[in-house]
A and B are shown apart, each in its own frame.
Chain A
Amino acid sequence: MKWHDFLTVAGQNDYPHRFTNELIFCQFMEATGAEIVVRCLAEEGVEFVFGYPGGAVLNIYDEIFKQNKFKHVLVRHEQAAVHAADAYARATGRVGVALVTSGPGVTNAVTGIATAYMDSIPIVVVTGQVPTPAIGLDAFQEVDTVGITRPCVKHNFLVKDVKDLAATMKKAFIIAATGRPGPVVVDVPKDVTAHLTDFEYPATVEMRSYNPVVKGHSGQMKRAVQMLLEAKRPMIYAGGGVVLGDASGQLTELARLLGFPVTNTLMGLGGHPATDKQNLGMLGMHGTYEANMAMQHCDVLLAVGARFDDRVIGNPAHFAREQRRIIHVDIDPSSISKRVKVDVPIVGDVQNVLTDMLALLKQAKEKPDAAALNAWWTQIELWRSKNCLNYNRNSPIIKPQYVVEKLWEVTKGDAFVTSDVGQHQMWAAQYYKFDKPRRWINSGGLGTMGVGLPYAMGVQLAHPEAQVACITGESSIQMNIQELSTCKQYRIPVKVVMLNNRYMGMVRQWQEFFYGSRYAESYMESLPDFVKLAESYGHVGMRIDKPEDVEAALKEAFSPALKERMVFMDFQTDQTENVFPMVEGGKGLSEMILAEEL
């Protein structure tokens, strides 16, 4: 028996009494709203629904009870339901689904929705609502769900008529997954879930107002290719769009063909293999010296699926000081020329556009300027030789970087890694070399502490046989620690790698640098005994105090003996360690603070 067998074997574990009458699905033409919701999800091929019941969704839960097309995963807090659905989407490229009740169910879900929105993740969140006649009367557990979520969804719907329900569900899945992906909320009042109508799930739905551009403009792509071939100091800056658009193959081929250096944003990690010689690592606030210097000093920049975030280019005025021509490929026109003016905008899907550009490149008679490129690489290697990610490997106290490096070794660089938010997130990004897309699962745009554990759950369920590690901090993990219980119920064998510095390290770092070391409220004391805590849920707990024990602990956690177990590793790390390099807020990209300078 594998830990996940029960997910497909009906009647085991959590639904001892469920009846699995498949015929229920096709016997009746007429269906209630609740049946329609469930049947639409099944039609979409949904594997998991992450949710939490309540009054407004009880009809839907009753239909879930009667079916066996998808598995419902009962979380312990609605925020975690949305995070898990979001992680499922990040790790698979498919739409993640969450289901929550009205009122507090929705407000708890909002952080999850906003997190997915900021990172353009396709999820559908079905929310219960009070019955239509009660809407607006301050009914029990009523909130204006469409109003509350509007600023943090790609789109949302309130379904007032059961006849619209199936088409709305279809639209929700289409909108979430196409164009620039994002979360869609479908708010379903309780009476609608009880009403009957003829059910037919449309294969597709036309929306005259929604037609994302997929193909790039051929003239612009020609100009772009020309510009790339003329470059003396080229640079490829690849973001989350490359991962979201499943274009890492095309990107890697293009980079190889041209021989250009590549940097990834935090969201783009794995979009180009980190161990490739052409990869300069992450850029931005905590990017590598070589990536940031090359970004600042290049003469032609190809930006793909990246949005010139403030954590990436630093001060835009400083960035604009150097002359460079910019080609920007993005599916969302509003990402283009938002913070930085570009020369060649190409609106389209990254896979589509890169495929076309590759074809143009292969036809082109010109070749990249080898001499110029050589000189450029010499410069880059000089920057690289600063070895900006070096740290003290002989410390008697566990260095957090060391734990991540060892994790990479022990998992052979092939794990799915989720993280929370803080210093540990940056160390994970810097020291775990992601060679494949969709392996690095974190909250970049919203920076939501608490995502790590629910993210790991969503990923592990999506890939039951994979190694899944959650790199977290002792502060972040406590924001969704209740999910240890979900892991127990579903026996989800994720491995938690907690870098415990007894501080909100990222906050402490800023206070050290910019607030005269006045550590206002950034300590984390009164911590639980995490080993006992994990054990109390039936998991394996480990506490690691010495550097020499790090590797052994990781090896044990990822050994076949513990493959089916959740393991919680509490690494007692150096409290004073800081993340370097660092570009201070408002500073230019090339004005980095390096470890050795302090």
Chain B
Amino acid sequence: MSRRHIISLLMENEAGALSRVAGLFSARAYNIESLTVAPTEDATLSRMTIVTVGSEDIIEQITKQLNKLVDVIKVMDLTEGSHIERELMLVKVKAVGAGREEMKRTADIFRGRIIDVTDATYTIELTGTGSKLDAFLEAIDPAFIIETVRTGASGIGRGERSLKV
């Protein structure tokens, strides 16, 4: 049975590190739903969050193969325990006439913030789980959407659960 997994990893912040991970996924035909990467508070380390879909066997191979990369220091499957997942989305929408007020209300319901306004558009910032962002996009009329950009999920373990060197 295939399930969605969020895999977090710490690796040496070196040129080419991202391509080693991306290359691994394409070479072994693993799915990538999203991949985010940025340095941590320790600039020698990069933290990456990969959202993937696969059966238990495949996920086991993915974590083993990631661990095998020489630059990778630690790997954690966040979905194996309690965790928090967040993604940021910016959506530019048409905001004219009656739709303008409606759009603001919907954004409020989803705790979105309007961060840029013109006569005809709003740009809305939303954070949440991937499914919440999906839900927002479903809640508004697709005809109003001018542009969306999403960061892909970031995740962190709850409580004591953490990924550190």
Q: Footprint of B on A, CB under 8 Å?
A: 146-147, 150-151, 154-155, 158, 175, 207-210, 332-334, 337-338
Contact = CB atoms under 8 A, between A and B. Distances in A.
Interface in B49-73: 57, 60-61, 64-65, 67-68, 70-73
A210 B70 contact: yes
Contact of B61 (A207, A209, A334): A334
Interface string B1-43: 0000000000110011001100100010000000000000000
Contact of A333 (B19, B67, B70): B67
Contact of A209 (B23, B27, B65, B73): B73
B70 A207 contact: yes
Contact of A208 (B16, B68, B165): B165
Central interface residue in B19, B68, B71, B72, by most chain A CB within 10 Å: B68
Contacts of B68: 332-334
Top 3 nearest A-B pairs (CB, nearest first) are A334-B64, A155-B70, A209-B73
A209 B19 contact: no
Contacts of B165: 208
A158 B67 CA distance: 21
B122 to A, nearest CB: 40
Contacts of B11: 209
Contacts of A155: 70-71
A155 B73 CA distance: 14
A208 B61 contact: no
B12 A337 contact: no
User: Most B CB atoms within 10 A — which of A207, A208, A209, A338?
Assistant: A209
Contacts of A209: 11-12, 70-73
A347 to B, nearest CB: 10
Most buried by B among A207, A333, A337: A333
B37 to A, nearest CB: 16
Contacts of B20: 150
B70 A154 contact: yes
A332 B71 CA distance: 16
Interface residues on B, range: 20 to 34
Contacts of A146: 16
Contacts of A151: 23, 27
A155 B24 CA distance: 12
Nearest to A151: B27
13 contacts: A146-B16, A150-B16, A155-B71, A158-B15, A175-B70, A207-B70, A208-B73, A209-B11, A209-B12, A209-B70, A333-B64, A334-B61, A334-B67
Nearest to A334: B64
Nearest to B64: A334
Given A158-B15, A207-B70, A209-B71, A337 B27 contact: no
Nearest to A180: B68
A334 B65 contact: yes
A545 to B, nearest CB: 48
Nearest to A208: B73
B163 to A, nearest CB: 14
A158 B16 contact: yes
Nearest to A211: B73
Contacts of B12: 209
A17 B62 CA distance: 55
Interface string B69-108: 0111100000000000000000000000000000000000
Nearest to B44: A208
A506 B113 CA distance: 67
The winner among A154, A158, A208 for most chain B CB atoms within 10 A is: A208
A114 B21 CA distance: 19
Contacts of A208: 73, 165
A158 B19 CA distance: 14
A150 B19 contact: yes
A337 B57 contact: yes
Given A209-B11, A337-B57, A147 B70 contact: no
Contact of A338 (B15, B16, B27, B61): B61
A217 to B, nearest CB: 16
B55 to A, nearest CB: 12
Nearest to A147: B19
A158 B70 CA distance: 14
A158 B15 CA distance: 9
Contacts of A147: 19
A153 to B, nearest CB: 10
- A146, A147, A150, A334: residue with the most chain B Cβ atoms closer than 10 Å: A334
A154 B70 CA distance: 8
Given A209-B71, A333-B67, 12 more contacts: A150-B20, A154-B70, A209-B11, A209-B70, A209-B72, A209-B73, A210-B70, A333-B64, A333-B68, A334-B64, A337-B57, A338-B61
Nearest to B10: A209
Contacts of A332: 68
A81 to B, nearest CB: 24
**Residue of B60, B61, B64 ringed by the most chain A CB atoms within 10 A:** B64
A150 B25 CA distance: 13
Given A151-B27, A207-B70, A337 B16 contact: no
A337 B60 contact: yes
Contacts of A333: 64, 67-68
A531 B11 CA distance: 56
Contacts of B27: 151
Contacts of B16: 146, 150, 158
A120 to B, nearest CB: 12
A291 B160 CA distance: 51
A216 to B, nearest CB: 17
Nearest to B74: A209
A157 B16 CA distance: 9
B105 to A, nearest CB: 49
A272 B50 CA distance: 43
